[in-house]
A and B are shown apart, each in its own frame.
Chain A
Amino acid sequence: MNLVEIENLVKRYPMGKSQFTALKNINLQFEKGEYSGIIGPSGSGKTTLLNIIGSLDIPSEGSATVLGKKIEKLSHREAARLRSRHMGFIFQTYNLLPVYTVFENVEFPLLIMKMPEKERKKKVMDALEWLGMTDKVDSRPAQLSGGESQRVAVARAIVKQPELVLADEPTANLDAENSYNILERMVKLNKELKTTFIFATHDEKVIRYLERKIYLVDGQVARDEIIH
């Protein structure tokens, strides 16, 4: 069964008195365990597509089914529940909560899920171990380097072991070495935990790691390559 199914998806935004079409007739399926990326230049619609898959936005036409839920039919509360239970997000600028420690930042999604403390602690330490950050549990984000911050952000995204991780330009603020580190760890997570990763990127460093490359041009799928 497909994890994500997108059928005839159109997304329009009002622009003055007219409308701007960001996505045109998109048809895509993502299977469990895929390590794929939506690739395209700025304004090609890749973040808009990621938004819809992440239940942060709804299609203007067509349908997007994620983990069996039709995104366009979800209420705000149901969409929030879907995100909190089954999805992890990784942002370009890390977006760690500055007043909380590394441990607490990673713990936060589990708190939203109301997970018991004992289980929470174990999962947080597991996630930090995966990302090699156990020596920084008590550090605050301001004390971390860019690469370390992004590793914490990845730990926060995978701590609840979601079926789907959505990452928008995750290496844009990192140098080559840190990008390599992060990407290697995400590949490892994908292989060992079978977590599905969907990237939105135009960074060659990321693109090299992708097993499936979906090229978007002007809101349309121009090419869909699967690398074996």
Chain B
Amino acid sequence: MIRFLIKGLMRDRSRSLFPVLMVSAGAFLTVFLYSFMKGTMDDLISSNAKFDTGHVKIMTRAYEEMADQTPNDLALLGVNSLVERLRSSERNMVWTPRVRFGGLLDIPDEQGETRAQGPVMGLGVDLLSPESPERDILNLESAVVRGRMPQSGNEILISEEFAKKLGVEIGEAATLIGSTMNGAMAMYNFKVSGTVRFGITVMDRGAVIADVKDVQSALDMEDGASEIVGYSENMRYDDGTMLTLTQRFNDKFSRVDDEFSPLMLSLSQHSGMGEYLDLVDVFGGIIVLIFVVVMSIVLWNSGLINGLRRYGEIGVRLAMGEPKGSLYRWMIYESIIIGFIGSILGTVFGLAISYYLQYTGIDFGAIMQKSTMLLSNVIRARVTGWSYVIGFVPGLVASVVGTMFAGIGIYRRQTSQLFKELEV
């Protein structure tokens, strides 16, 4: 019977080729959309992790409450010893202190008068230590557009767009005007060693990257930091592991009654990030569900049309004594074969496009000019293990469900009308 079924499928394009193309299209869209959304979400998480939250982040309890204002007067102290302790106790993690700051960047002319000035968002990171992980985490070297990486103290990187806006050239002086940890006015002279473009609008609009020791010095934060960020060694975020680490650290170091005690938060515990992570998890499910429903309706309709087209065949088979259940199962087997082949084709095409976009990406920079999200301008797909199988869910399920609905007509067929129907 199966041999007969396959012969029928191979010889009749309207019961094989067109349904296969339809299923392929559905599977392709599912695989591609899933991979693209996965890439987008992962990029969002990755960008946030790299530039903001880390996989885990330690701040004082007080700083954490007002973190959006970068209140360095509430910063962590005794950072060096805490980092050393973390490095020895949590060896699977990479730890590094950071200072966030805001202020004005003043560009003087030859007479030392202000030539240009603009607000900056600054990040003090370990740029100069040979063991520093920051160059890799922030991907700084490949982000340099002009000039070079800082090689000695007091050298900074500024974002390319910001540099163009201020008319700053490489090697020129730039003065940071801000406030110290103690609330006093801070002025500190730097030299621009290079410009960078991260491809993240919010960072490229006006960021300054300086060595953490210079920033500590400029803001009177000796042995202090806004935060200590930690990353897993393989740079892959695992929520369960990070939550366990967070719990372990907080049990040991954090005290509810001390607002200056350190508090560790995992990426998912930061405002909104947990929801993003959940969204990533459910998004694939939502896409698949939508496609299963839509494709089922389409294939149901297709099955009904196919049923009309094969009305004579079904009728004559019923007349010959083939049980209705056997005919119904025949239709289901056909749909499984079509669903399987269509899913394979759709998945192959979906993976091909997704892999291509994983490497090239699509540049949305032009429409993200005013973005405040830490999201890369070039959005890439990401192929995961799920990308290989997710297309089969709508491909197979929708095919079978659509056929099951359409095939109910077989059970409603009145055998008493067969002679009349078959004589038409």
Asked if B366 lies at the interface with its beta carbon under 8 angstroms from chain A, I say: no
Of chain B, the residue at the smallest CB distance from A108 is B320
Q: Are B323's CB and A80's CB within 8 A?
A: yes
Asked if B318 lies at the interface with its beta carbon under 8 angstroms from chain A, I say: yes
Contact partners of A81 in chain B: CB under 8 A:
321, 323
Contact partners of A58 in chain B: CB under 8 A:
416
State which of B1, B12, B420, B422 has its C-beta within 8 Å of the C-beta of A95.
B422
State which of B315, B321, B419 has its C-beta within 8 Å of the C-beta of A83.
B321
Q: Are A169's CB and B423's CB within 8 A?
A: yes
Q: Please report the C-alpha to C-alpha distance between residue A152 and residue B8 in the assembled complex, in whole angstroms.
A: 19
A56-B415, A91-B316 are contacts. A76–B321 as well, Cβ < 8 Å? no
Q: Please report the C-alpha to C-alpha distance between residue A160 and residue B320 in the assembled complex, in whole angstroms.
A: 11
Q: Please report the C-alpha to C-alpha distance between residue A42 and residue B143 in the assembled complex, in whole angstroms.
A: 88
Q: Please report the C-alpha to C-alpha distance between residue A81 and residue B324 in the assembled complex, in whole angstroms.
A: 11
Q: Are B416's CB and A57's CB within 8 A?
A: yes
Contact partners of A194 in chain B: CB under 8 A:
none
Q: Please report the C-alpha to C-alpha distance between residue A91 and residue B316 in the assembled complex, in whole angstroms.
A: 9
A91-B316, A95-B312, A95-B316 are contacts. A47–B321 as well, Cβ < 8 Å? no
Quick one: CB contact mask for A80-104 with B, threshold 8 Å, 1 for yes? 1111110101011101011110001
Q: Are B1's CB and A80's CB within 8 A?
A: no
Of chain B, the residue at the smallest CB distance from A173 is B423
Q: Please report the C-alpha to C-alpha distance between residue A161 and residue B287 in the assembled complex, in whole angstroms.
A: 55
**Which of A89, A92, A95, A111 has the largest count of B CB atoms less than 10 A from its CB?**
A95
State which of A56, A80, A87, A99 has its C-beta within 8 Å of the C-beta of B322.
A80
Q: Are B11's CB and A99's CB within 8 A?
A: yes
Asked if B408 lies at the interface with its beta carbon under 8 angstroms from chain A, I say: no
Q: Please report the C-alpha to C-alpha distance between residue A92 and residue B420 in the assembled complex, in whole angstroms.
A: 10
Q: Are B8's CB and A100's CB within 8 A?
A: yes
Contact partners of A87 in chain B: CB under 8 A:
321
Of chain B, the residue at the smallest CB distance from A77 is B323
Please provide the chain B residues from 312 to 355 with a CB less than 8 Å away from any CB of chain A in the complex.
312-313, 315-326
Tell me the minimal C-beta distance from A162 to chain B in angstroms: 10
Contact partners of B420 in chain A: CB under 8 A:
47
Q: Please report the C-alpha to C-alpha distance between residue A108 and residue B318 in the assembled complex, in whole angstroms.
A: 12
State which of B1, B7, B323, B325 has its C-beta within 8 Å of the C-beta of A100.
B7
A47-B420, A100-B7, A111-B1 are contacts. A89–B319 as well, Cβ < 8 Å? yes
Asked if A79 lies at the interface with its beta carbon under 8 angstroms from chain B, I say: yes
Q: Please report the C-alpha to C-alpha distance between residue A130 and residue B194 in the assembled complex, in whole angstroms.
A: 94
Contact partners of B253 in chain A: CB under 8 A:
none
Q: Please report the C-alpha to C-alpha distance between residue A6 and residue B415 in the assembled complex, in whole angstroms.
A: 20
Asked if B418 lies at the interface with its beta carbon under 8 angstroms from chain A, I say: yes
Q: Are A56's CB and B7's CB within 8 A?
A: no
Asked if B359 lies at the interface with its beta carbon under 8 angstroms from chain A, I say: no
State which of A84, A91, A98, A156 has its C-beta within 8 Å of the C-beta of B423.
A91
Tell me the minimal C-beta distance from A38 to chain B in angstroms: 12
Q: Please report the C-alpha to C-alpha distance between residue A156 and residue B11 in the assembled complex, in whole angstroms.
A: 21
Q: Are B316's CB and A97's CB within 8 A?
A: yes
Quick one: CB contact mask for B294-312 with A, threshold 8 Å, 1 for yes? 0000000000000000001
State which of B4, B12, B315, B415 has its C-beta within 8 Å of the C-beta of A79.
B415
State which of A51, A85, A93, A111 has its C-beta within 8 Å of the C-beta of B416.
A51
Q: Are B313's CB and A97's CB within 8 A?
A: yes
Asked if A15 lies at the interface with its beta carbon under 8 angstroms from chain B, I say: no
Contact partners of A112 in chain B: CB under 8 A:
317, 320-322, 326
**Which of B1, B4, B8, B321 has the largest count of A CB atoms less than 10 A from its CB?**
B321
Asked if A109 lies at the interface with its beta carbon under 8 angstroms from chain B, I say: yes
Q: Please report the C-alpha to C-alpha distance between residue A82 and residue B319 in the assembled complex, in whole angstroms.
A: 11
Q: Are B422's CB and A91's CB within 8 A?
A: yes
Q: Are A99's CB and B7's CB within 8 A?
A: yes
Tell me the minimal C-beta distance from A167 to chain B in angstroms: 10
Asked if A174 lies at the interface with its beta carbon under 8 angstroms from chain B, I say: no
Asked if A50 lies at the interface with its beta carbon under 8 angstroms from chain B, I say: yes
Tell me the minimal C-beta distance from A76 to chain B in angstroms: 7
Tell me the minimal C-beta distance from B127 to chain A in angstroms: 72
Q: Please report the C-alpha to C-alpha distance between residue A81 and residue B325 in the assembled complex, in whole angstroms.
A: 12
Q: Please report the C-alpha to C-alpha distance between residue A82 and residue B321 in the assembled complex, in whole angstroms.
A: 7
Q: Are A104's CB and B7's CB within 8 A?
A: yes
Quick one: CB contact mask for B1-37 with A, threshold 8 Å, 1 for yes? 1001001100110000000000000000000000000
Q: A99-B7, A100-B11 are in contact. List 9 more A-B contacts (CB 8 A).
A: A51-B419, A56-B419, A76-B323, A80-B318, A80-B324, A84-B322, A87-B321, A98-B313, A99-B8
- Which B residues lie at the A interface, using CB under 8 A? 1, 4, 7-8, 11-12, 312-313, 315-326, 415-416, 418-420, 422-424
10 A-B residue pairs with Cβ-Cβ distance under 8 Å, sorted by A, are A51-B419, A56-B418, A76-B415, A83-B320, A91-B419, A93-B423, A93-B424, A104-B4, A111-B1, A168-B419
Please give me the 10 A-B residue pairs with the lowest Cβ-Cβ distance, nearest first: A84-B321, A83-B321, A57-B416, A56-B415, A95-B316, A99-B11, A99-B12, A80-B323, A80-B321, A92-B423
